[in-house]
Chains A and B, each alone.
Chain A
Amino acid sequence: MKAKLTRQTFIAGLALAGFALAAAPASAQSAAKIGAPAPAFEAVDSDGKTRRLSEFAGKTVILEWTNHDCPYVRKHYNSATMQTLQKDMAKEGVVWLSVISSPVGEQGHVDGAKANELTKSRNAAPAAVLLDPNSKVARAYGATTTPHMYIVDPKGTLAYMGAIDDKPSASAASIEGAKSYVRQAMAELKAGKPVSEASTKAYGCAVKYAPVS
């Protein structure tokens, strides 16, 4: 599966992945795989607009799973490391999508207005905030924690998945000296190098999944 796949072949890829999933033991693991096409998705954003991964073809896309009340997410927002990363990436033309997969009644669930208010009050800079209350996008990517980061390269291939940095702690003191896996991967992609650490163990609060409907 090293061949360059275009977005048009996603459906086929997804179908294959589906088979693989059915064959594998049941778990949160998904079709998301480094070097393979990133799973396609469709989700409504905080402004009510339907967004698809395909609309960003040709651009690098970063997905950030988030839950504003999770202590690990708060660590990165309270220290502004997340917002700084978002702004730096925006300058490079990267599309940053924050994804909220908490269903109604679970921690982190917000409506569009609240999501926009959070963006404003935290001075965050995502291109869009995707609302995923049925946890469909989370299942497609196998997101386990908040934060959980994914980088999709301009060809639609998944280039990075995992932790935001190498300090799995909720303590604010852990930010200093942390190695940002996202920055490292982005720098390597920009230089045309392979991503050295393309898959790391994400850390944080569990993604609050909606029951399978």
Chain B
Amino acid sequence: MAYPLTRQLWLKAVLALALLAPALAQAAESSAVTSPRVTATLLSSREAVAPGERFQVALVQKIAPGWHTYWANPGDSGEPTRITWALSQGATAGEIQWPAPKAIPVEPLVNFGFEGTVLLPVEITVPTEAKIGERLTLQAAATWLVCEKICIPEEGTLTLDLPVAPAAVVAEAAQSRIEAARAQLPAPAGFRGRLAGDGEGLALTLPGLPAGATELRFFPLSDTLIDHAAAQEIRRAGDEATVRLARSTAFKITGDEITGVLTYREGAVSRALGVAADVEPALVGAAAGPATAPATVSIPLPAEGADLTLWAALLFAFAGGLILNLMPCVLPVLFIKALGFAQHAQASRSQVREQGLLFLAGVLVTFMALATLVIALGAFGTSVGWGFQLQSPPLVIALSVVMTLIGLNLLGAFEIGTSAAGVGHGLASRGGRLGAFMTGALAVVVATPCTAPFMGAAIGYAVTQPPLLGLSVFLSLALGFALPVVALSFAPGLLRLLPKPGRWMLILKQAFAFPMFATAIWLIWVASVQAGPGGVLAALVAVLAAGFIVWLVGVTRGSGRARLASSLAAVLVAVGAGWFVVQSAVPEVAQARAGDAQAWSPERVAALQAEGRPVFVNFTAAWCITCLANERVALSRQEVKDAFAELKVTYLKADWTNRNSQIAMALAEQGRAGVPLYLFYPGSKGAQPEILPQLLTPDMVVTAARRASGKEIRTATR
């Protein structure tokens, strides 16, 4: 078993894995910009573009129920969605081809806008000089206002990067979505209208409407033409209809033409026409303004898409994996690995590389094993989620023992392996290789519970996707996690940045023992929450036994007979302590920990909402560092408590420290597979919650509390 895999083979494997991930992404849709209200993406009808062609892209807004974004003329209040383009290769973008708006009443006002999912198509022109083989980058800096009763200005930069090819490659699914939306755009009317004064109001005469047209409504493109909320009275004479419109308080017409969209029904079908009308000269104001762009419109198509694209999930997972390296329990393990590289950088570069790859293998294998377990258990209907491994007290205790042992090892109390794997010996020895692999595995085991902020959404996505896609997200996570160490092993230049090996390494190594002990303390605390005082006792006994065993093995090294005896004793102690741990560490019934939080249940949320009380739900677990940090820096702050008291917010805590299928289901409903998750339910029956970010600030919570209590879900006046 000298070299089970050659380095070349390893390299190939790594490359294949790295290439696999992006290949799974759809090139025709940008990664999403997401808020609790709007998920926006840029959709392209092309996977590759040809020089000189025109093609369609669309800004897709998936709007949460009860919220709306705005049309070109927003109506009584609001602001239209805007896109500022930055295009490479000298490409140009046309105007937004506006779908037909809906009149959205906000009594007594009316807004013109969109609900549900809306596609805003834009035509892109590729210059004939575009260079084949290069990329066309489309960057859309979009801003939009999204309102329920309250309004939130949002913005996002959406980027697509398409290859320029001799012939265009159509993205079939995206193309058909965009074309379906464009088919609904207002069609140019086959007539010109006339606009005349009619006493205090206006009369818009439309010749040539279909006889069966009902429910006419005119949406002018100018926001200074009509009173948006006023009823539009229709008079018909043959095929000519006259719409009576009330004038805007800011009435002003510039130019001799007005444009807008006329919506109507013909039987069961909703139709929209783009209308231009000649204006009676008497109505025209003095100043002539620039002509307004012709409008087009549609009825928003209900379209389903995942909240997070695969590409975004992969990226988040990769970033999350990178961040995991900084966790206090992981950093020392990795740093020691890096120091090992530094010591051997000159002597055996290839060995260092091999170490890096073995570490990578350890990370990948362990990650994939855990991910497979999570996905498999999910497939069999068992409600587990990420971090589930910390829901078992014996496992938590085992981890606290591992942490203690690593700490003792760093302090120099004992050395792993008997002879070959010592720090000063050959890294390429069997023990060294196994060690590198195991370091990777260990790093994963200690790191996974610390779900970094970026990983929540990605892992939530992973477990709701088909297994292969789910695994690719975990793979991306694993690659991100392994990257720093692997990069270090492959880049001697980076290693040279480290100071020369020397005494400082020993001191640093010893210093790193303390984060490990701190982690052990934290784990023992987790055990105390899960299993009560018995859990603490079990954990401490386990730590004691482990310490005793490594000491015993250490002092009896060398003498054959003593070694045999000590091994026997060690096994006995281990078995005894293990039995004791399993006996003592039986979980107690979980109880709400924080003083002012009450226990969560879906029924409780519904009951409180029915009473008109806003509800804040904190999905947390004792083993979740992000959760605890949020509780410390935001949720337990006085200003948050005050705001909750003032706004009569009920604070519920869903504690996932131990396994709980009800909580797992609630997380899944929000597309998550792990904690933290923060939900703010408005105090009205059945109202949907707002999802707060995974990193909280007191301000954020207070503002969300105001939103949840300071508003009602708009009553259905539509």
Residue positions of A touching B, CB distance < 8 A: 20, 24-29, 32-33, 69-72, 105-109, 139, 142, 144-145, 161-162, 168-171, 199-209, 211
Contact = CB atoms under 8 A, between A and B. Distances in A.
A95 to B, nearest CB: 23
Nearest to A32: B249
Nearest to A71: B153
Contacts of B149: 106-107, 206, 208
Interface stretch (B101-109, B423-431, B570-578): B101-109
Interface in B73-116: 76-79, 106-109, 111
A107 B150 contact: yes
Given A28-B108, A106-B710, A201 B246 contact: no
B231 A26 contact: yes
Contact of B227 (A29, A162, A203, A209): A29
Interface of B: 76-79, 106-109, 111, 143, 145, 147, 149-153, 200-201, 223-224, 227-233, 244, 246, 248-252, 706-707, 709-712
A109 B712 CA distance: 13
7 contacts: A25-B244, A26-B230, A29-B230, A69-B150, A71-B145, A106-B710, A207-B77
Contacts of B251: 199
A142 B153 contact: no
B231 A105 contact: no
A201 B224 contact: yes
Nearest to A108: B710
Contacts of A32: 249
Contact of B200 (A24, A71, A171, A211): A24
Contacts of B200: 20, 24
Among A28, A70, A202, A203, residue most surrounded by chain B Cβ atoms (within 10 Å): A28
A211 B250 contact: no
Contacts of A205: 77-78, 147, 150-151
Q: Which of B76, B201, B244 has the most CB of A within 10 A?
A: B76
Closest CB pairs A-B (n = 10) = A27-B230, A206-B77, A170-B153, A25-B231, A27-B229, A25-B230, A201-B250, A144-B76, A28-B108, A107-B150
B143 A206 contact: no
A206 B79 contact: no
B152 A71 contact: yes
A105 B710 CA distance: 5
Nearest to B224: A201
A86 to B, nearest CB: 23
B109 A200 contact: no
A206 B249 contact: no
Contact of A107 (B231, B250, B711): B711
A70 B151 contact: yes
Contacts of B147: 205-206
Nearest to B149: A208
Contacts of B246: 24-25, 27, 29
A206 B710 contact: no
B76 A109 contact: no
B77 A106 contact: no
Nearest to A144: B76
B152 A144 contact: no
Contacts of A20: 200
Given A109-B710, A199-B249, 17 more contacts: A24-B201, A24-B230, A25-B244, A27-B230, A27-B246, A28-B108, A29-B230, A32-B249, A71-B151, A144-B77, A161-B249, A170-B79, A170-B153, A199-B250, A206-B147, A209-B107, A211-B107
Contact of B111 (A200, A206, A207, A209): A206
Contact of B109 (A26, A144, A162, A168): A144
A162 B251 CA distance: 11
Contacts of B223: 201
Contacts of B106: 206
Identify the interface centre among B107, B228, B232, B706: most chain A CB within 10 Å of its CB: B107
Nearest to A135: B108
Residue with the greatest number of chain B CB neighbours at <10 A, chosen from A20, A33, A207: A207
A207 B707 CA distance: 16
Contact of B250 (A28, A106, A171, A200): A200
A171 B265 CA distance: 38
A199 B252 CA distance: 9
A127 to B, nearest CB: 25
B500 to A, nearest CB: 52
A46 B531 CA distance: 55
B612 to A, nearest CB: 9
A69 B76 contact: no
Contacts of B79: 168-170, 203
B329 to A, nearest CB: 42
A106 B231 contact: no
B46 to A, nearest CB: 31
